[in-house]
A and B are shown apart, each in its own frame.
Chain A
Amino acid sequence: MQTSGVKRQTSNVKGQTNGDRASGGPVTRDQGSPKPAALVIGGGIAGIQAALDIADAGYPVYLVEREPSIGGRMAQLDKTFPTLDCSSCILTPKMVDVGRHPNIELMTYSEVVSVAALDGAPPEESASPTRGFRVRVRKKPRYVDLDRCTGCGLCAAACRMKGRVVSRFDEGIANRSAIYVPFPQAVPLKYTVDPSACLYLTRGRCGKTFLCKEACPADAIDFEQQEELVDLDVETIIVATGFDLLDPRLKPEFGYDVYPEVMTGVEFERLSSASGPTMGKITVSGREPKDVVFIKCVGSRDPHTGVPYCSRVCCMYTAKHAHLVRDKLPDARITIFYMDVRAFGKGYEEFYDRVKHERVIYRRGEPSEVYRLRKNGDDTGRVVVLAEDTLLGRPIEVEADLVVLATAVVPRTDVAEVAGLLGLERSPDGFFQEAHAKLSPVDTNLDRIFMAGCCQGPKDIPDTVAQAKAAASSALGVLSRCERKLTFDV
């Protein structure tokens, strides 16, 4: 690992020059760093909310996000249940606040590579660190100068790979260029070169000239950019690393990846989103579906897939999906297959009632299989969902031209790595373990490290925000005590 070029940064409020940095000498808290700082790992709604609360209280925050933009999963969603607020409409103002907040140092396209307690011991051996942490962050090269880039997008329009690179943000249902912003409301609104897709970065050359560089009026593209390592000294850390969704291919009976008619809930969000690739038009292979089937608990409540727990959000987002289909396709036949309906939150049961009145048929039974519907040996572009309607007590076959799978919420694929980095314990479900299931829900096994959102377990947006505010409150306690040089004796 490259260590020579490591920058060391104390809590620097934006616009404030720090004399110690220029000298390059070691900086310690005693040499008059103005305010103790916090680190928030993960820039989804949990990390955004926690960072804003700490920053609003007057303490500096580093918000580290590995993607080019903050926003996380919530930015991908169309509407939110049960109020049907447009997800980006309520999220974007908070993202902008983060970008502009004088107390937040936003580090996107960056990853935490190491964490050490400042009293010398690794965090897991320092049960009650008397000082904070030194955190090393790797800023991946964007190959775009953040100060110069204006976000105009001329580079992406000129890119030779335009329309040929799968957009992960759009869950593969749309393509982008090799130089991109993940979505139009990105914060920061700065372009990034995808090193796995850029012709120059993968093959060493891109035609005779760089089309992106030629197109950029700000001269912002810099293929010489190197990764940068930055050391941060912080007193407290909030982990808000989020979740992944179960790979539906682990349930091969549903034919995901076999039939274009079968998609996941997040893919449906992108399809239904007015700012998505289809401008919110629900189509499958260019056609409007007439029969839409939703399958809940895909992988959830199923120890076979390593997900013995309930994913908590699927009942409600599936009800919301059904509503969105009804809204856009008034004549569609909509069937939701369910095992149980868990509508436990404020306004949730009412929303479930409302959706049922919108001619959405709830059929009790977990489908067993999806296969291609053929007529006289020919592909009809439709599929058959096999199930038992357990209330009728007989096997049924429901034809569909769109099947949406509510896939389980699972820990991030690199959860073990992150746990190792910080010394965090994990619960049997794989998520991070809270210090006490009831009384310390945002505390981890380590002092000064808190967590928020789905990295602790599946939860919806209201619960995530509540947890983020709780984690921020706990972190503020640490920061306040540090500032007043109080001891941590409990």
Chain B
Amino acid sequence: MPHYERGMALKTEPMVEQLELMGCIQCGKCTGGCPVARKTVLNIRSLIYDMLVEPELDVNAHPELWDCTCCFTCVERCPKDVRPADLIIGLRGQLVEGGRIPETIGAALMGVFRQGNPTGLAREDRAAWLDGVDEKQRTAVKAAQDGCEVLLFVGCSPAYDLRVQVVPRALVRAFTVAGLDFGTLGTEESCCGNEVRRMGEMGLFEMLVEENGELIRGAGARRVVTTSPHCFNTLKNEYGLDVGGTGAATSDIGHASASKIEVLHYTQLIAELIEQGRLAFSNEVRKTVTYHDPCFLGKQNHVFDEPRAILKAIPGLKLVEMDRSRERSLCCEGGGGRMWAEGTNLEERLAFQRVQEAADTGAEVLAVACPFCLLTLEDAVKVQGLDERLRVMDIMELVDLALNDDGEV
């Protein structure tokens, strides 16, 4: 944990006005539904009240600001459009500007700045995941800069993390089978910036939007599909790609362009390909599977049905639901920068609770559609000693099994 000094007084009034906090009626729905408020002292409702009634706030006195996973349950449920999580992001921004951030967060931001990814691994290795793809299929992956129908925005974890790399590889196989005309930005792709923004580093985020935005528009593809719901969220809602002109959410960083670009998460595209009959499954996957809705896909972007449609289309697969699913899905605690910061409570993890809920359904596989969920929940399964009973798999791994004859799970 970083060393927090006292006395970083923030004048509350400008942020109260900017975020329209005056509309808050202190109903407590935000803190009531906040998954981390149950394990740390983070209380966003009380923080808003502090901002409203006090002239200054000592931001350094709130190390729990780094506990927020930006699951946005508070934003989704706030009856008054206050967007409580935006206050946390704003306050983090103050800490970032003051240089008072946890070391690991600083390292992640530095990695993005220098190498275009939070792990700080070399930019020239960004396309190395493709080495694991079958030679014939690899040739089907175009350089998006040369033009293609669909641009696959790979994302950092899928590109670099050895566990997650199977997901974009499976996407390449599925797209090839479906005869899709697609490509990637290769080593030119940078971090999407979704977590960068949520860690409060607006300057770096804007730089990433500019770089990636230019590359994506320049490529000319009509559709962008992402591996991660986090990339999906920011490309869809914060890049202004779909409006064709200047960005809606971040007007200062928009570009003038005539074409509208549709942003999809891979589950939407795969479900579409199945629906159109371009993707058919030949193998049975005789598994009982439960599905965990990622916050950035479900709660924040209301994509609930497509992942389930894919699972239901796999022959032999039995889908069972956890009690807390869809809008009530429990956050895995990997978002909002929490992949690079432990937070103030190291003992209790939401992922522990989540994998137990999954195991209680009797499922053998906990299916996910997000790299962070994959990593946090897989860790939790091991720590909780559930690895004999429950396996965490990305939906694309199940799709891959249904497509190929590579044998049992």
Q: Please give the residue numbers on chain A whose beta carbons come within 8 Å of chain B beta carbons, in ascending order.
A: 252-253, 255, 297, 301-304, 339, 364-369, 371-372, 374, 377, 386-390, 393-395
List chain A residues, Cβ under 8 A from B326.
252
B80 within 8 A of A: yes
Q: Do A393 and B79 form a contact, CB below 8 Å, given A365-B27, A377-B360, A388-B32?
A: no
Is the CB–CB distance between A253 and B328 below 8 Å?
yes
Bound: A365/B79 CA distance, A: 13
**Shortest distance in angstroms between B22's beta carbon and chain A's nearest beta carbon?**
15
List chain A residues, Cβ under 8 A from B77.
253, 368
List chain A residues, Cβ under 8 A from B30.
368, 388
Is the CB–CB distance between A387 and B360 below 8 Å?
no
Which of chain B's residues 303-330 have a Cβ closer than 8 Å to chain A? 323-324, 326-328
Is the CB–CB distance between A368 and B80 below 8 Å?
no
List chain A residues, Cβ under 8 A from B26.
390
Is the CB–CB distance between A371 and B29 below 8 Å?
no
Bound: A302/B77 CA distance, A: 10
Q: Do A393 and B33 form a contact, CB below 8 Å, given A253-B328, A302-B79?
A: no
> What would 11 A/B residue contacts be, using CB atoms closer than 8 Å?
A253-B327, A297-B27, A297-B79, A301-B79, A303-B80, A365-B27, A367-B32, A368-B34, A369-B32, A388-B32, A390-B31
Bound: A393/B81 CA distance, A: 21
List chain A residues, Cβ under 8 A from B33.
253, 368-369, 386
Is the CB–CB distance between B80 and A366 below 8 Å?
no
B45 within 8 A of A: yes
List chain B residues, Cβ under 8 A from A377.
359-360
Is the CB–CB distance between A365 and B323 below 8 Å?
no
**Shortest distance in angstroms between A453's beta carbon and chain B's nearest beta carbon?**
26
B117 within 8 A of A: no
List chain A residues, Cβ under 8 A from B327.
252-253
Chain B 23-62: CB-based contact to A (< 8 A → 1; otherwise 0): 0011111111110011000010110000000000000000
Is the CB–CB distance between B32 and A364 below 8 Å?
no
Q: Which residue of B lies closest to A369 (CB)?
A: B33
Is the CB–CB distance between A366 and B27 below 8 Å?
yes
Chain B 170-193: CB-based contact to A (< 8 A → 1; otherwise 0): 000000000000000000000000
Q: Do A371 and B323 form a contact, CB below 8 Å, given A253-B33, A253-B328, A395-B38?
A: yes
Is the CB–CB distance between B25 and A339 below 8 Å?
yes
Bound: A364/B28 CA distance, A: 8
* Complex partner residue of A390 from B27, B34, B38, B79, CB under 8 angstroms: B27
* Complex partner residue of B32 from A297, A304, A368, CB under 8 angstroms: A368
List chain B residues, Cβ under 8 A from A394.
43
Q: Please give the residue numbers on chain B whose beta carbons come within 8 Å of chain A beta carbons, in ascending order.
A: 25-34, 37-38, 43, 45-46, 73, 77, 79-81, 323-324, 326-328, 359-360
List chain B residues, Cβ under 8 A from A365.
27-29, 32
List chain A residues, Cβ under 8 A from B359.
377
Is the CB–CB distance between B45 and A390 below 8 Å?
yes
Is the CB–CB distance between B81 and A303 below 8 Å?
yes
List chain A residues, Cβ under 8 A from B29.
365-368, 387-388
List chain B residues, Cβ under 8 A from A368.
29-30, 32-34, 73, 77
Is the CB–CB distance between A371 and B79 below 8 Å?
no
Bound: A366/B27 CA distance, A: 5
**Shortest distance in angstroms between B122's beta carbon and chain A's nearest beta carbon?**
43
Is the CB–CB distance between A366 and B324 below 8 Å?
no
Most buried by A among B30, B33, B79: B79
Most buried by B among A367, A386, A393: A386
Q: Which residue of A lies closest to B31 (CB)?
A: A388
The 5 closest A-B pairs by CB, nearest first: A368-B33, A368-B32, A388-B28, A302-B79, A365-B28
Bound: A83/B134 CA distance, A: 78
List chain A residues, Cβ under 8 A from B323.
371-372, 374
Bound: A464/B45 CA distance, A: 37
List chain B residues, Cβ under 8 A from A371.
323-324, 328
**Shortest distance in angstroms between A304's beta carbon and chain B's nearest beta carbon?**
6
Most buried by B among A253, A255, A297, A367: A253
Q: Do A395 and B25 form a contact, CB below 8 Å, given A253-B327, A374-B323?
A: no
Is the CB–CB distance between A366 and B81 below 8 Å?
no
List chain A residues, Cβ under 8 A from B80.
301-303
In addition to A301-B79, A374-B323, A387-B29, 19 A-B residue pairs with Cβ atoms within 8 Å of each other are: A252-B327, A252-B328, A253-B327, A297-B27, A301-B25, A304-B79, A339-B27, A365-B27, A366-B79, A368-B34, A368-B73, A368-B77, A369-B328, A377-B360, A387-B28, A388-B31, A388-B37, A388-B45, A393-B43
**Shortest distance in angstroms between B348's beta carbon and chain A's nearest beta carbon?**
13
List chain B residues, Cβ under 8 A from A302.
79-80
Bound: A301/B24 CA distance, A: 12
Q: Do A390 and B328 form a contact, CB below 8 Å, given A301-B79, A303-B79, A303-B80?
A: no
Bound: A395/B42 CA distance, A: 10
**Shortest distance in angstroms between A175's beta carbon and chain B's nearest beta carbon?**
28
Q: Which residue of B lies closest to A389 (CB)?
A: B28
* Complex partner residue of A366 from B32, B43, B328, CB under 8 angstroms: B32
Bound: A369/B31 CA distance, A: 11
List chain B residues, Cβ under 8 A from A364.
28
Q: Do A386 and B32 form a contact, CB below 8 Å, given A252-B327, A303-B81?
A: yes
Q: Which residue of B lies closest to A339 (CB)?
A: B27
Q: Which residue of A lies closest to B73 (CB)?
A: A368
Is the CB–CB distance between A374 and B360 below 8 Å?
yes
**Shortest distance in angstroms between B156's beta carbon and chain A's nearest beta carbon?**
31
Bound: A364/B73 CA distance, A: 20
**Shortest distance in angstroms between A131's beta carbon and chain B's nearest beta carbon?**
48
**Shortest distance in angstroms between B402's beta carbon and chain A's nearest beta carbon?**
29
List chain A residues, Cβ under 8 A from B34.
368, 395
List chain A residues, Cβ under 8 A from B46.
393
Q: Which residue of B lies closest to A374 (CB)?
A: B360
Q: Which residue of B lies closest to A376 (CB)?
A: B360
**Shortest distance in angstroms between B356's beta carbon and chain A's nearest beta carbon?**
8
Bound: A389/B26 CA distance, A: 11
Most buried by B among A366, A388, A393: A388
Is the CB–CB distance between B360 and A366 below 8 Å?
no
Bound: A222/B23 CA distance, A: 60
Bound: A339/B26 CA distance, A: 8
List chain A residues, Cβ under 8 A from B38.
395
Bound: A470/B327 CA distance, A: 46
Q: Which residue of B lies closest to A363 (CB)?
A: B28
Bound: A389/B37 CA distance, A: 12
**Shortest distance in angstroms between B396's beta carbon and chain A's nearest beta carbon?**
27
Bound: A92/B19 CA distance, A: 53
List chain A residues, Cβ under 8 A from B79.
297, 301-304, 366
Is the CB–CB distance between A255 and B43 below 8 Å?
no
Q: Do A390 and B28 form a contact, CB below 8 Å, given A303-B80, A371-B324, A374-B323?
A: yes
**Shortest distance in angstroms between B292's beta carbon and chain A's nearest beta carbon?**
15
**Shortest distance in angstroms between A339's beta carbon and chain B's nearest beta carbon?**
5
List chain B residues, Cβ under 8 A from A388.
28-32, 37, 43, 45
Bound: A339/B24 CA distance, A: 12
List chain B residues, Cβ under 8 A from A255.
328
Most buried by B among A374, A387, A395: A395
Bound: A304/B82 CA distance, A: 12
Most buried by A among B73, B77, B81, B326: B77
Bound: A142/B359 CA distance, A: 54
Bound: A255/B31 CA distance, A: 19
Bound: A368/B35 CA distance, A: 11
Bound: A387/B32 CA distance, A: 4
**Shortest distance in angstroms between B327's beta carbon and chain A's nearest beta carbon?**
4
Bound: A339/B29 CA distance, A: 10
Bound: A367/B27 CA distance, A: 9
Q: Which residue of B lies closest to A251 (CB)?
A: B77
List chain A residues, Cβ under 8 A from B28.
364-366, 387-390
Bound: A339/B360 CA distance, A: 35
Bound: A242/B212 CA distance, A: 54
Bound: A252/B324 CA distance, A: 11
Bound: A364/B45 CA distance, A: 13
List chain A residues, Cβ under 8 A from B27.
297, 339, 365-366, 390
